[in-house]
Amino acid sequence: MERLCDVRGERIVVACRPCGRSGSYGVERLRQRFGPHASMLDVYLALTQTCRFQREVGSRTPNVYGMTCRAKLDTTGGPTPAGLPSRT
């Protein structure tokens, strides 16, 4: 999943554990806002830019005790796979 057009879910959920923030965004609305072929990295950076732990891309990483943004993206409400469940 490199581009916004590759997302098959209905919503993208962003959650950041260090600051406790979370948000849910509709995929169709994000496609209207950023364009269907927008990079997921660009969408991620735009949605997490107000996180107080966000660092500028390419900046020096903090030491072991430094806090950084650890926001994670997840999708919800996608199409369910048809057929039998896998045994592996």
Structure confidence by residue, pLDDT tens digits, 21-76:
888 999 999 999 999 899 988 888 888 877 766 666 666 666 656 566 677 777 87
| Cα separation, 65 vs 45, whole angstroms | 23
Of residues 79 and 11, more confidently modeled: 11
Q: Is 20 left (phi over 0), alpha (psi -120 to 50) or beta?
A: left
Distance of CA 44 to the CA centre of its chain: 5
21 or 79, greater pLDDT? 21
pLDDT at 29: 93
CA distances (Å), 80 to each of 45, 51, 55, 76, in order?
29, 33, 36, 11
pTM above 0.75, yes or no: no
